[in-house]
Structure 1
Amino acid sequence: MQTNSGRSPELSVEADDAAGQGGVAAVLAALVAPIAGLLPFVDLGLAEDANCAALLADRNTTRREG
């Protein structure tokens, strides 16, 4: 069995450090969140182009037949 040989552990929060870290976290959240909200609207140009000439020709043929 071990005894606590005169040591007294202390638990505390350093308010200055915690406030600074909270401020940095708030700034990062304010900068990153709006950018994340715009990501679904970014077009990376990875979609294939449609064959417009064929689509228009098919449309004109359908109008004449119908």
Structure 2
Amino acid sequence: MCRCSGVFSRCRRRKRKLIHLDKAKNYIVVCRSEGRSGMAARFLEQQGYSVTNMTGGMMERKGETV
């Protein structure tokens, strides 16, 4: 899994890390090519979170990456 501000580190630990997310907020997930973030987005949606997966991942992003 991708690492999003400390939320995800490994698949087996992701569920207990969700306690840090607010279900009232919207989240954008991104990884290099959209594969891992797609899995993360589907998982979060199944848990009741509002999630957008960034289409194409960072490989499709134009401009400077900080």
Q: TM-score, structure 2 length as denominator?
A: 0.24
Which one has the largest radius of gyration?
A: 1
Structure with more relative contact order (C-alpha pairs < 8 Å, separation 6 or more) = 2
Q: TM-score, structure 1 length as denominator?
A: 0.24
Bigger fraction of residues in helix: 1
